[in-house]
Structure 1
Amino acid sequence: MKFGGSSVASADRMREVADLILSFTDESPFIVLSAMGKTTNKLLLAGEKAVSCGVNKVDTIEELLFIKELHHRTVDELGVDRLIVDGHLEELQQLLKGIAMMKELTLRTRDYLVSFGECVSTRIFAAYLNKIGVKARQYDAFEIGFITTDDFTNADILEATYAAVAKRLNDDWNSDPAIPIVTGFLGKGWRSCAITTLGRGGSDLTATTIGKALGFREIQVLHPQSMRPAREGDIPVRVKNSYNPKAPGTLITRSRDMTKAGLTSIVLKRNVTMLDIVSTRMLGQFGFLAKVFSIFEDLGISVDVVATSEVSISLTLDPSKLWSRWLIPQASDELDHVVEELEKIAVVNLLQHRSIISLIGNVERSSLILEKAFNVLRINGVNVQMISQGASKVNISLVVNDNEAEQCVRALHSAFFESELPCGSSN
């Protein structure tokens, strides 16, 4: 079972998660936790500020004070000893002073910095479970065999991880059974032996990796990359809402009967950057797309959704790979570099504050889905700025303005899942 930052954002939420886990104790669950809500972003902000604030002012960084207060308040409300977190919080403060002294924040140091969120949240939660009589044991993923590439901030888990994790967890369980509480998102570089992170959403991948290693019956998480180990291990994945734990959630399996299915889900991704790239050089030429995508590869930026015509390319950039620009605008000139390089070969229009609405549905009924979706958007006065649909027709992606996104999703959900009335009916 994996719980994200919002599920462990406070002492009250941790109590609710603990109650939920108590209902599964007969099934010997393992638990993967993210950092407490907002902690990861606060750590990154603190690191960026430390670069320029000077060693003497590190103690006054607002985000550091927030992190300390949040975790101290949480342990106090849970009745857990502050010593559980004080050592890590002091280490965090010393790291920020080191960043201030060096006046730089490398990717390697950034991964070390954000690891404090998961390391502290899991220690608090394990201590609370033990306090209420549920035997639990905290684990840092990078200490139990999570071996990764040395691609800091976006590392990949290596095959050797499965055997190493299985051995460590099984040995501990056989000698002294306790519910494992594991840090999500983290690993250890196979060459550097330094802490690495698996990218945003990596806690889900941590959970499915453990699930495959241990051959679990079912995993309750969701992130696209996390599906790979679950699929390879033929393990169903259940998506649940910790705010509504009694609901059955959604079970994802290897196959299902799609003959009667239309639209099965609607997914929203906010704060997306969209690029329109226009060049007459594309017409009848080969290699132009390769030049465009090589620019993104060289700058280490992931492209999300793509649509092309004879003389233009429209694409969106994965927001999880551009987080620093929105957290600290002056901290990254990634987009500036992209635009600068692309303008050497094309006219570029940069559009920010966009959202992607993805419609997941039946391959054979995509035309009906599109017809109904566009009718809903027309009625709501929304213009789609970009549409992308692969040959499989399973995923239809629509790009709209951020400020229209929630309205669109609600209207689409109502039309597809809440009513059999024709689109636009007010009855």
Structure 2
Amino acid sequence: MIVMKFGGSSLADAERVRRVASIIGANRAKKPLVVLSAMGDTTDSLLEAAEKAVSGSVDVGAIETLHRETARNLGIAAGETDALLGELKTLLTGVSLVRELSKRSRDYLVSFGERLSVRITAAFLSKSGILARAFDAWDAGFVSDSAFTQAELLDDVWQAVPAAFAEYASGKDGAIPVVTGFIAKDRKGTITTLGRGGSDLTATMLGAALRVDEIQTWKDVDGILSADPRIVPEAHPLHEITYEEAAELAYFGSQVLHPRSMLPCRKTGTLVRVKNSYNIDSEGSVIVEARREAAEPVRVITAVKHSRLLDIVSTRMLGSAGFLAHIFNQFLKWGTSIDVIATSEVSVSLTVNTAQDLSGLLEDIRHVSDVQCHDEKSIVTLICDVTQSSAILAKCFAALAAHGINVQMISQGASKVNISLICDDAESDHVVRILHGAFFGTPHE
């Protein structure tokens, strides 16, 4: 068996649903289990509809149009689709009356995207001669805690999922399961959502619990690339990458798999493959626990823009332990996440996301320190073999110096697979191209 996960962009309209169906059909002999996200921008449309409902207006026009037109273009009955759209309208009417949307109601609302997606796709597969059955995640064994908007799956899932698909696994049931990603139910039967990377988590949990041969996540590129192809057109796919490297990529801007979604497959050693839905003959990239083949020192170069660099210097004789303890306690107090950091005895340089409100944090830190804030910074990260850091850094600095780029901060991750450099947002793309050219021999500006 295999698990095949398709994201929203792969299901944006009828034509893309047809493509997904053809890919599933081509893999029928491998006994696929399919996990789907909501179609296209449906989740955003649902949240926009919720905002309007809180203001007293019920409008599901965009959502109705997408799903009804898709069903019509695919030539499938719209009965289940219409029923769900009616349920959605009833929910939004209730929200418009109370003028409030709780986290619990938000999860219920957002679940309609995946529920509509699987019903349309399963119906079209069956119409095309590929027997399929839609599953809401809770009917597939997915039970979570009650932390709405960011629920965690319970250990029960490890036994419940194999029980739900026992007949399919044994061959008694030939209908391909098409399962909603991202959602679950708590023990009380209330719908929850799994937060960031939720659909990937559904896929990896399903695959790990069933001990499938591999988990496939289908995207629009040939696997995991050496850089963002929009920045570096010459970026090339990697044959394999480790879970640790993939986790660092996810933290630093690359949409591979969220680290939490890798936990189930790491537990069982289940292989994950990133495939291209527009080039199904490509082998894609595999994510493995430990590298099985020799690799170049630098694997991937990625960047995160719109960060804020804080330079913090002690103004009191606290000593290094007292100074650092005070600084980090303030970040804990204000719930502010740090991305990369470099320290000395009485100074710290670190980056945070500019979306975070830092006013209270900075006021507290300034009781014992001078703080300088620098906005519009980028974190350029090299996923690499840090045991070769001297050679890697030498090549980095030589290439950047040749183009007049000054690095403003450097941080080597404790994971031993990443080195991060800080530069201005305006230089970020250029820096990525320069470094990609230095390590992979491709042209840069």
In the superposition, the TM-score normalised over structure 2's length comes to: 0.79
**Are 1:215 and 2:211 an aligned pair?**
yes
44 and 386 in structure 1: CA distance in 2 versus 1, 3 angstrom threshold? farther
Counting matched residue pairs gives: 394
Deviation at 1:114, TM superposition (A): 1.3
SS at match of 2:299: strand
Letter in 2 for 1:180: P
Q: Which residue of 1 aligns with 2:249?
A: none
Cα distance in 2 for partners of 1:379, 1:90 equals 62
Matched, 1:250 2:250: no
Once the 2 structures are TM-superposed, how far is the Cα of residue 261 of structure 1 from its aligned partner?
2.5
2:17 alignment counterpart: 14
Q: 1:351 to 1:208 in 2, by over 3 A?
A: farther
Q: Tell me what 1:193 maps to.
A: 189
On the 8 A contact 1:130/1:136 being kept in 2, the answer is: yes
Counterparts of 1:188 and 1:351, CA distance in 2 = 43
**Are the counterparts in 2 of residues 307 and 315 from structure 1 also a CA contact under 8 Å?**
no
> How many angstroms does 1:314 deviate by?
1.7
Cα RMSD (Å) of the superposition?
A: 2.9
- The answer for the alignment partner of 2:166 in structure 1 is 170
Are 2:16 and 1:2 aligned?
Answer: no
**Greater displacement, 87-96 / 342-351:** 342-351
Between the aligned partners of 2:439 and 2:58, the Cα distance in structure 1 is 52
Q: Which residue of 1 aligns with 2:386?
A: 363
User: Which has the higher mean CA deviation after the structures are superposed, 33-42 or 275-284?
Assistant: 275-284
Separation of aligned partners in 1, 2:45 and 2:30: 36
Equivalent residue in structure 1 for 2:105, among 99, 103, 109 = 109
| Equivalence for 2:242 | none
Residue equivalent to 2:351: 315
Q: Is the 8 A contact 2:386 2:419 kept in 1?
A: no
- CA distance in 1: counterparts of 2:431 and 2:295, whole angstroms: 25
Distance, in Å, in 2 between the alignment partners of 1:316 and 1:118 is 33
For residues 331-359 of structure 1, what are the alpha-carbon distances to aligned partners after superposition, in whole Å with 9 as ceiling and x for unaligned?
xxxx34x5324423337677666554332
Deviation at 1:371, TM superposition (A): 3.2
Q: Distance in 1 between matches of 2:361 and 2:420?
A: 27
Measure how far apart 1:162 and its partner are.
Answer: 1.3
Query: What is the rounded CA distance, in whole Å, between the counterparts of 1:68 and 1:404 in structure 2?
Result: 43
In structure 2, the CA distance between the partners of 1:43 and 1:373, relative to structure 1 (3 Å rule), is: farther
Which segment is superposed worse, 77-86 or 369-378? 369-378
Residue 176 (structure 2) aligns with? 179
TM-score (norm. length: structure 1): 0.82
Q: Distance in 2 between matches of 1:111 and 1:382?
A: 46
Q: Give the match's secondary structure for 1:182.
A: strand
Partner SS state of residue 240, structure 1: strand
CA displacement, residues 70-105 of structure 1 (integer Å, 9 cap, x when unaligned): 222211221122223112222222222222222222
Do 2:399 and 2:434's aligned partners in 1 also have CA atoms closer than 8 Å? yes
Tell me the residue number matched to 1:58: 58
Aligned mate of 1:340, from 349, 352, 360: 360
- Give the secondary structure class of the aligned counterpart of 2:93: helix
Q: Which residue does the alignment assign to 1:231?
A: 266
1:71 and 2:67 equivalent? Answer: yes
Report Cα offsets for 1:396-421 as digits up to 9, x if no partner.
234455555444444433443354xx
| Residue 327 of structure 1: aligned partner | none
Paired amino acid for 1:239 = V
| Preserved contact between residue 295 and residue 342 of structure 1 (Cα < 8 Å) | no
The equivalent of 1:291 in structure 2 is 329
How far off is 1:117 after superposition? 1.1
* Residue identity matched to 1:364: T
The whole-number CA distance in structure 2 between the counterparts of 1:49 and 1:350 is 37
1:88 aligned partner, one-letter code:
L
Aligned letter for 1:225? R
- Cα distance in structure 2, aligned partners of 1:167 and 1:349: 57
* Aligned counterpart in structure 1 of residue 310 of structure 2, from 263, 271, 276: 276
- Against the structure 1 CA distance between its residues 111 and 396, is the aligned structure 2 distance closer, same or farther, given a 3 Å change threshold? farther
Secondary structure at 2:365's aligned position in 1?
coil
Deviation (angstroms), 1:275: 5.6
Q: What residue number does 2:46 align with?
A: 43
Q: Deviations over 1:127-167 (max 9, x none)?
A: 11011010111111123221222222222222111110110
Deviation of the 1:24 alpha carbon: 1.0
The alignment status of 1:416 with 2:413, answered yes or no, reads no
2:338 and 2:350 in contact (8 A); partners too = no
Whole-angstrom CA distance in 2 between matches of 1:257 and 1:172: 32
Q: Distance in 2 between matches of 1:263 and 1:48?
A: 45
Q: Give me the whole-angstrom Cα distance separating, in 2, the residues matched to 1:151 and 1:89.
A: 26
Q: Residue 403 and residue 50 in structure 1: after superposition, are their counterparts in 2 closer, same or farther (change >3 A)?
A: farther
Instruction: Note closer, same or farther for the CA distance 1:15–1:314 as it changes in structure 2 (3 Å cut).
Output: same
Counterpart of 1:388, as a letter, is S
* Alpha-carbon separation, structure 1, partners of 2:328 and 2:301: 31
What corresponds to 1:330 in structure 2? none
- 2: CA distance between counterparts of 1:293 and 1:76? 53
- Counterpart of 2:326, as a letter, is F
1:166 is paired with a residue whose SS is helix
Q: Give deviations 1:367-404, integer Å, cap 9, x for gaps.
A: 33333334444556655555432234312234455555
Query: Distance between the aligned counterparts of 2:419 and 2:173, measured in 1?
Result: 49
